[in-house]
Structure formats: structure tokens, C-alpha cells
Structure 1
Amino acid sequence: MKNLAQRGFVPILVVIAITVIAGAATLVIKSQKAPSIPVATPSATPTATPSATPTATPSATPKPTSTPAPQPVVNNTPSGPGYSRQTVSADGQNYTVDIIAADLNSTKVIVDTASDSDCSNNCPTLPLADYVTRNGAYAGINGSFFCPAEYPSCTGKTGSFDTLLMNKSKHYFNSDNNVYSNVPAAIFSPGSARFVGQSLQWGRDTGVDAVIANYPLLVSGGNINFTEVANEPKFGQKGPRNFIAAKGNIVYIGVVRNATMGESAKVLHALGMGEALNLDEGGSTALWFGGYKSGPGRNIPNAVLFVRR
């Protein structure tokens, strides 16, 4: 019995051993196989969709702000001796005035003429600078109305003037011309000036320094003495208006720019002039103080000059 039992148990052990060996072999075989590594399939890289570049909207170019022109400084007080250009307000408007002032106690007013005596046609004329130079004057202005050669109406009387005048040589021009004896005149003496409404109010005194007649009389006795009238249409046009004026012992010559004749009278009144007489103007305009301040215009038959006493 014992041997039988032993023989029955041995086969069982053999089976168990075989089973163990077989399992171990299976494990060895499996361990020798390369592991299968799954290959990752990359997902498609998304293409970046660029955002739309915004179009720059240019800002409006700012319009330059215009700098307002500086307002002129109004000065209705005439300058002291010498030359000045000033803005004068009259009747609500501003006017530019070139003005030369002189004291009659230290300055002598003279009138020089291109001709030595009366002349009725083809009369000589000179530029203002020549009158200034040959007299050693420091200031001057064109004188009385005359007949320029370029005017058709002046044929037969070119260069002539018809109004009363006493030149530096004490010669009276047009002394016998009674047609213009009602024209105003300005008379200058040492330290004083006199203005008369009509030339006939003045004799032929040669004791004075100068006499010049012209028209119109703009200011008289400190009051406006002129307004435009229909029979003098040129007086109503804008242009340079030349003058000789006085206040006390101070004499003035100058140009009111871009004014009618009536406006010129208002400007000189605003400046406080006691007396003021209009001179030739337009194309004849010429004002001198160390050089031309206005002009030169056309050549002229006479000129008003300031010389030192």
C-alpha cells in the first residue's frame, strides 16, 4: 500500500513541475518579445489665420490757425521835430500818415522853382531830390498843382502852374493872374505861419520866407474847412493826399495815405492842426527826409523845403 501511494503521488508532482516549467517558459518567451510601442499620429498643426491688419485712418491735418495781424497803435498826436509814420484815427477809420515836423524858430521854409520867372509852356521841372540837394535842405515835399506833359489837356502849357508863389529868390510868380486870386495860400516867416482863404488877401511882401498858394484849404482855425463836392470828382477818389500845415510855431509837411480829400481834412483835424493846405498829389507825390519817404513821383516845377536857419 505504501509503495502504491508513493507511486500515485509522484505523477502528480511531475505534472506540477511540468506545469511550472511551461509557465516559466511562456514568461521568458513573452519577455523576449519587443514591446509594441504605439506611434502617436500627430494631429494637424492648425494654420494660424492672421487677424486683418486694420487700415490706419489718418487723422485730419489740422488747419493752421491764422495769427491775427497786430492792430496798429493809433496815435492822434503829431510827432515832435523830425519824421514819423503813424496811424491816425478819424471818423471811425484808421489812416497811415507820413509826417515831418519842424520848429519855425530853427527851420526856414522856402519854396524853390525850376524856372527863375513866370513860364507858360515847356516849363522846366526837376525831381524833388534835386531841389533838396541844391538847397542843402533836410526835408521837402512837392509843391503846387501844375500841368504835366503827359496830360492831353496840358498841351501848350506843359510844366506851368497858375497859382501865386514866392520863391527863395523873393520872386513872385503869377502875380498878375487874377483868375486864381481866390485860391488859398500859406505864408511862412521866422517863428510863425499864416494861412489865408484867398491869395488876394495877401500882398506882395518880400519880407517873409515863403508863399505858396494851392487848394483846397483843409483846416482853418482848427476846424474842418473842406468836404467833397460834385464838380471836383478827383477829390472823392482814394489816393495819397499831400499837405502843408501848422500848429503854433510848428510846421508840418506830409502825406495822408489812401484817403479822399475830405478824409484828409478829417485826419489833419484829428491831429489837431490849426491850419492845413492841400498840395499837388497823385503822380506828383514826393516826400523827402534823409531820402524819399514817398515817391519819387514825376518831375515837378516847384517844391517846399525845410532848411536850417
Structure 2
Amino acid sequence: MKNLPVLNSLKFIGSTALFLVVIAGLVYQHVRLNNAEKSLSVIKASQTNLRENFSDALFEDHLKVTNSMVSGAKLTSLQNELETLKAKETTDEKTIKDVYDSLIILEQKINRNVKAGLKSPDLTEQKDSWGSFLIEKDFASIMTGINEQTALLDKDYSVYLTKLEQTRVAASGYSYQTVQTERGTFGAHVIKIPLNEIKVKTVSASSGSCSNDCDTKSLADYVKGSGGFAGMNGSYFCPPDYASCDGKVNSFDFALYDSNDGKWEHKDALTWFETGLITFNGSTPSFYKETSDYGGGGVTAGISNYPALVKDGDIVVDEDELTSFQKDIKGPRGVIGVGGENLYLAIINGANVIDAAYVIRSLGAKHALNLDGGGSSAMYINGKYIVGPGRSLPNAIVLTK
């Protein structure tokens, strides 16, 4: 029992300690609560202030963003406008140059037409309006006006050239004709010209009778070398690309009077009856269905070939005497004929030799002789080929004034 006072002392100390701990805890909680209340008051005050000033803050931020956007948009717009101005300046420079170049061309065409004897357009009114358009930078209207005037000038000049060519063609007697016959319809390049207006020449590239590797010329060279204005290919010959010619190159065996040399080539062929012959003594023609009928009279031109096509207006070609090339192949066919005081030179398209006889008769020839055709076909008038040039030729027919 002696230990009871000590026990009671320990109980008192323990109770006191517990009280102090509880009191301390309550004080701590009170302080925390007080601080929390202060913090809450601050937060509430901030919230109140934020609520009161929130719209102003947002508007200021909006202004900043808007000002930034406007500034950026203005800068972009200025940049775009600058680029547009630069592009427009370049475009205007190019357009002005185009207008200037077009005016130069217009002036050149006016001068061209005046030299041709054509009426010069009065552009006084147009130039005044073009000046106004230029001040207004209405380049499109200027170009439209210039182009319209240029087109009118070109149209007038085109009509002039057509009439000029028609005059030249009429002088040469040339025409392209569609000819209807008993054997069908054929296109033909035709020179029909009065014999008293021209001289007919038959010419050779060789200086004498040649049997192989003979000289040749283009038809244009024959015409120019003989002082002519027109010409056509002559008789059959052996071109280099024909295997059937048995080694003979550019040779022809038919009689031909060289008008430039004044003598016959292959004179022995004048005795042949298989070939036909047409001769000229000045403007007087003579025709022989068989070359052997030629009596040796004076001539200034003469060419033989086969077959004779027309005599005294009758078709005289014998189909049984034709080669397969002559009767079975449709192609260009050359013909020389006379009739009604006219000379006829013709290249008939898509025809065999018999067709050619009917065509030349329909054109007006009373006498006609077949000539070479195919790849040798050539007709030359007033400095240009109407047909051809075709192969280089050992002989040709030339017309001079």
C-alpha cells in the first residue's frame, strides 16, 4: 500500500499531460481555422475583384488580339496590293509593247497595199479614239481596232493576189478542169492556148542521140534554159529505178527534134509505125498516127511516142496493142494535142491511156498523142510547178512567147 501515493502522482501527471496535449491540439486547430478563414476571405475578395473586372480584362485582351489581327491583315493587304501593282505595271508594259508592235505591222500593211495600187484606209477617226483609249489605259479597245483594220487590209490584199494570179494563169492558158466522158469523170491540169500566141519547143538534155546514161534536167531548168514560160514532161524513157530497162539509164529511143540544136535525135525512129508523131513548123502543127507517115518536111519542133490517141476527132488507140501498164494502171497521164487553132498540154489524173484519149477529146483536141506520165509527170508555169517536179527528164516540151 506504500506505493499508492506514487501511483496517484503518476495518474495526475498523465492527466495533466493529456490535458496539455488536447489544449495544444485545440489551439493548433484554431490557428489553422483562423488562417483558413483569412485565406478564404482573400480568395473571396479576389473572386469578387475578378468578377468585377473580368469583362474589362477580357476586352483589353480582345483589343490586343484584334489590333494584332488588324495590323497583320493590313500588312498582308499592303503586300498583296504591292504585288498587284507590280504585276499590273509589268502587264501594262507588255500590253503597250504589243500595241506598238501591232501599229508597226498595220503601217507596213498599209504601205504594202498602197504599193499594190490599193486604196489606203482613212484612219483619222480611229486614231483619235485610240488616243482616248490610251489615256484611259483601255488597251483592249485599241488592239480590237487595230486588229479590225489589219484584217480589212489583209482581205483587200488577198483579193488583189487572187486577181493577179488569175491574170497570170489566164495569160498562160492554164486551168484545172473536171472533165466528164463516156468512161467517167476525171480531173485534169490543162494548158490550152492559141498556137499563134506561142512557140512550141521540144528539147533534149543531150547534145545528140543517146542510148544510155543520158543527161537529164528538171522541167524548170528546161523552161528557164529555153526562155519559156511553161513546159511539160516529154516522151517515155528509162529511169534509173526501172529494172525492166535492161541497164539503159535515162535513155529514150523515140524520135525527137531538138528545137535548140535544130536537129533530129534518134532520126532512125522516124520510120517506126508503132509510134505516133506530132510536129510544129512555127505555129502550124502536123499530126501522124504512125511516125513512118512523116515525109521529112521542115519543122521547128517534133516529138514521137506511143500510142496515138485521137486523129481527126476519133479515138484511134487500140487497147490490144497497149502494155498492161498503159491499160490496167490508173494514174497521171500526159497528153499533147491540137485542135481549133489551140495547143493542149494536159496531165490527167486517175486515168489509163484509153481514158486519157477520151478526156483530151472532150477538152477539144482533134489530134492527140500520149506522153509519159506516172512519176515523170510534171507541168511548170510562170515560175512554179503545177504538177511535179517528178523525175529528172531527158527531154521536155517548152512553150515560149
Q: TM-score by structure 2 length?
A: 0.54
Q: 1:121 aligns with which of 204, 208, 212?
A: 212
1:150 corresponding residue in structure 2: 241
1:112 corresponding residue in structure 2: 203
CA contact under 8 A between 2:172 and 2:381: conserved in structure 1? no
Give the 3-state SS of the residue equivalent to 1:105 in structure 2.
helix
Q: 1:190 Cα shift?
A: 2.4
1:226 corresponding residue in structure 2: 317
CA contact under 8 A between 2:183 and 2:358: conserved in structure 1? no
Q: Does 1:240 align with 2:332?
A: yes
Structure 1 segment 6-21 matched on structure 2, within 5 A: none
Structure with greater helix percent: 2
List, as ranges, runs of 4+ consecutive aligned residues in structure 1 with deviation greater than 3 Å: 177-182
Q: Does 1:294 align with 2:387?
A: yes
Q: 1:177 Cα shift?
A: 3.7
Greater RCO (CA < 8 Å, at least 6 residues apart): 1
1:186 corresponding residue in structure 2: 278
CA contact under 8 A between 1:163 and 1:181: conserved in structure 2? no
Q: 1:160 Cα shift?
A: 1.0
Structure 1 segment 1-309 matched on structure 2, within 5 A: 82-91=173-182, 93-168=184-259, 169-177=261-269, 180-205=272-297, 207-229=298-320, 232-236=323-327, 237-290=329-382, 291-308=384-401
Q: 1:80 Cα shift?
A: 8.9
CA contact under 8 A between 1:109 and 1:210: conserved in structure 2? yes
Q: 1:230 Cα shift?
A: 7.0
CA displacement, residues 181-228 of structure 1 (integer Å, 9 cap, x when unaligned)? 5311001122321110111211444x3220100111111101111253
Give the 3-state SS of the residue equivalent to 2:306 in structure 1.
coil
Aligned CA distance change for structure 1 residues 269 and 156 (closer, same or farther; 3 Å): same
CA displacement, residues 84-103 of structure 1 (integer Å, 9 cap, x when unaligned)? 00111001621111100222
Aligned residues: CA RMSD: 1.9
Give the 3-state SS of the residue equivalent to 1:296 in structure 2.
coil
Q: 1:272 Cα shift?
A: 2.7
Distance 1:204 1:299 in 2: 30
Distance 2:322 2:226 in 1: 38
Distance 2:274 2:183 in 1: 33
Aligned CA distance change for structure 1 residues 253 and 228 (closer, same or farther; 3 Å): same
Structure with greater strand percent: 1
Query: Could you tell me which amino acid in structure 1 is paired with residue 241 of structure 2?
Result: E
Q: Which deviates the most, 171-180 or 93-102?
A: 171-180
CA displacement, residues 220-242 of structure 1 (integer Å, 9 cap, x when unaligned)? 10111125337511112100111
Matched residues, number: 229
CA contact under 8 A between 1:80 and 1:101: conserved in structure 2? no
Aligned CA distance change for structure 1 residues 266 and 177 (closer, same or farther; 3 Å): closer
Q: Which deviates the most, 268-277 or 224-233?
A: 224-233
Q: Which deviates the most, 87-96 or 289-298?
A: 87-96
Structure 2, unmatched stretches of 5+, are: 1-169
Kindly, what percent of the aligned residue pairs are identical?
A: 38
Query: Could you tell me which amino acid in structure 2 is paired with residue 120 of structure 1?
Result: S
Q: 1:269 Cα shift?
A: 1.9
